[in-house]
Amino acid sequence: MTPLWQRLVQGMQKTRDTLVGSIESLVRRHGSSPALWEGLEESLIAADVGPAVAAQLVEAVRARKAPAADAAALRRELATLMAERLRRRQEPLAWERPDAWQRRPLVGMVVGVNGTGKTTTAGKMAWRLARQGRRVLLVAADTFRAAAQEQLAIWAERAGADLVRGAPGQDPASVAFDGVQAAVARGMDVVLVDTAGRLHNKSQLMAELAKVRRVAEKALERPLDEVLLVLDATTGQNGLVQARVFTEAVAASGLVLTKLDGTARGGIALAIVAEMGLPLKLVGVGEDPDDLRPFDPDAFARALLGLED
């Protein structure tokens, strides 16, 4: 299996090349003058880390008296600071905690806008859990798109997971309720509820998503263990808007950043983690089942800044 750092290097190549090139150019032109720090802040913003995080990183680098005239040393310092900020919020998935299995079934819900890879993420999580010997039930609560149910059925078969699906157009909340009840009756370890993609600016759809969570919790008789917001790494700053709206609607517990195998703009991870306080739990770096990986702050920061693992 290709190391995560190497996959991130490939996926964030465009952002990394632009950021590294900008830092090296700034050092050549400005040395350690004030213009360097202004330019560095602008370069970080262009890499989608967000204005607030960019300003904080530059201030922290200056405070640590990094050798500003050395571009490689400056990149190393930035990578260390980025990893530190990401690590502050780092948390494992609920089913990766040692004490988790005292309250089976563990229930997670996957949410996000259209096209982010929610169904694939749910399927890959099921595949991973099944390889660990866990009994998994997938719930196809996207009743509006027949292809989503078929796609989840394929993943269920591939992973050896159970599947609960509803009729076309059925109330998604009722499908989630039936799925959780079935998992309890069958003694399953983990339930993963796949939901329909919905635009974050459609209040009615967001209210419906909140209902899915409430009804699933009613069936479980306790809060859900995970509500994972799946974001497309190529969307840039729009991902921050999505994170705000979905967190307000369903109290997301963590992030999954997908499509880090393409023209990813991975700097947005820093902006979302810093502003929303949401831990980044998983990253998608390819199409294979094992290409959904636990997030590694150090590998991510070093890949973004063009440093060896």
Q: Which residues are annotated as a binding site?
A: 112-119, 194-198, 258-261
CA 307, CA 309: separation in Å to the nearest integer?
6
Residues, the chain, total? 309
CA 74, CA 91: separation in Å to the nearest integer?
28
CA 301, CA 270: separation in Å to the nearest integer?
9
CA dihedral sign of residues 54, 55, 58, 63 = negative
Residue 6 is encoded by which pair of tokens?
């190497």
Residue 29 is encoded by which pair of tokens?
């032109």
Mark the binding-site residues for GTP, compressed into ranges: 112-119, 194-198, 258-261
What distance, in Å, lies between the first and last C-alpha atoms of the chain? 16
Residue 193 is encoded by which pair of tokens?
């509820």
* Greatest alpha-carbon span in the chain: 67
